[in-house]
Amino acid sequence: MDNLLEARALSVKIQKDKRSLAAVDSINFSIAPGGITGIVGESGCGKTLTALSITGLLPVGVNASGKILFSPDGKEKRDLLSLDDNELCKIRGKEISMIFQEPFSSLNPLKKIGAQITESLEIHSSNNSFKENRDKCISLMEKMGLEGAEKLMEVYPSMLSGGMCQRVMIAIAMINNPRLLIADEPATALDEKTQDQIIDLLKKINKDYNTAILFISHDLGLIKKICGQVLVMYAGRIMESGSIDEVFNNPAHAYTKGLLGCIPDKNQKGKKLAAIPGNVPAIEDEKPAGCVFWPRCGKAAESCKNEAPKELFLGGTHYAYCIGDE
């Protein structure tokens, strides 16, 4: 089966003080049709910039290079990075949609909920009548778990809870039934019960609409609940990738092991959580010639400082990027 999306040697660079700083450094990954792929890593690892490069929403002064091949019909592959703004606008919100972080700040406080959800319909389905758009909006809101959808069409975001605002954001992203849904930290700042509801809703969307999802989080626990495949990112590079079972049951990279060690376990009360020493390097910091993780790695050898990590094939879909045992 052909992939829905393939990133090849994708880099994202920020122009600052006449310097070109690599926030994402030549990464490769793919998303299968109808699959759920997670990107996990600490803040500042390049997860969100990777997502924004797919949708063509990078800020001014931030540029992507490489290739992002998108094939919604399984035949023609289009490089999203080669498209102009007009061509991207035909895809964005229709074939690829995104749920942004912080629903309160992402929604327009001066615009009613119904108008915000139907806006994308009006752009991409200009032949629809007002009633057709309204009826589709109400139906979708109900499917997203928003009770009293007809009344909610007329309210403003400030009148809704955080969980309801997140469901509205998901409705905005799903109104045109996209092939790919990018969910950037969709459960951040929500209580555990609401988090679980949002995760269940995304799983239902994936099943009912066969929508592929790119799920971005710093929380491996959430990644495990929803994803089939996972990419572990650190300082703009992929450290490990594979299926959830492969990566969680047999982690190969020291960074992945460190992240897994930070997950609380209710069956081990009183046990001190592991911690990864140090911090993610700032983008302005000069990157090591070898592995970017070696300064924080308890098993780093002298060769890790200067040698580029090797791609280690571990079976199935499981890869790690590490010098490995010498």
pLDDT for residue 75: 78
Residue of higher predicted confidence among 247 and 323 = 247
Amino acid 326: pLDDT: 46
263, two tokens: 């997950």
Classify each residue of 49-88 as buried b or exposed e, where b means 16 or more C-beta atoms within 10 Å of its C-beta. Answer: bbbbbbbbebeeebebebbbbbbbeeeebeebbebeeeeb
What pLDDT is stored for residue 188 in this prediction? 79
> What percent of the chain is predicted at pLDDT more than 90?
70
Per-domain residue ranges for the chain? Answer: 5-95+176-322, 110-175
**Quick one: pLDDT at residue 99?**
94
Q: How many CA atoms are closer than 13 Å to the CA of 242, on its beta-carbon side? A: 24
Q: What is the pLDDT of residue 267?
A: 67
pLDDT digit string, tens, across residues 158-217: 999 989 999 999 999 999 999 999 999 998 778 889 999 999 999 999 999 999 999 999
Q: What is the pLDDT of residues 19-44, one digit of tens each?
A: 899 999 999 999 999 999 999 999 99
Query: How large is the average pLDDT for residues 47-56?
Result: 96
Provide the mean pLDDT of the chain. Answer: 91
Residue 232 to residue 66: CA distance in whole angstroms: 20
The hierarchical CATH code for the domain 5-95+176-322 is: 3.40.50.300
The residue-averaged pLDDT of 53-60 equals: 94
pTM here is: 0.93
Q: In what order do the strands lie in the sheet with 5-16?
A: 19-31, 5-16, 62-70, 78-79
C-alpha to C-alpha distance for 129 and 136, rounded to whole angstroms:
11
pLDDT confidence of residue 264: 72
The pLDDT of 48-73, averaged and rounded, is: 95
- End-to-end CA gap in the chain: 37
pLDDT digits (tens, 9 = 90+) for 253-312: 999 999 998 877 666 666 677 788 888 888 888 888 889 999 999 888 888 888 889 899
| pLDDT class of 325 with cuts at 50, 70, 90 | low
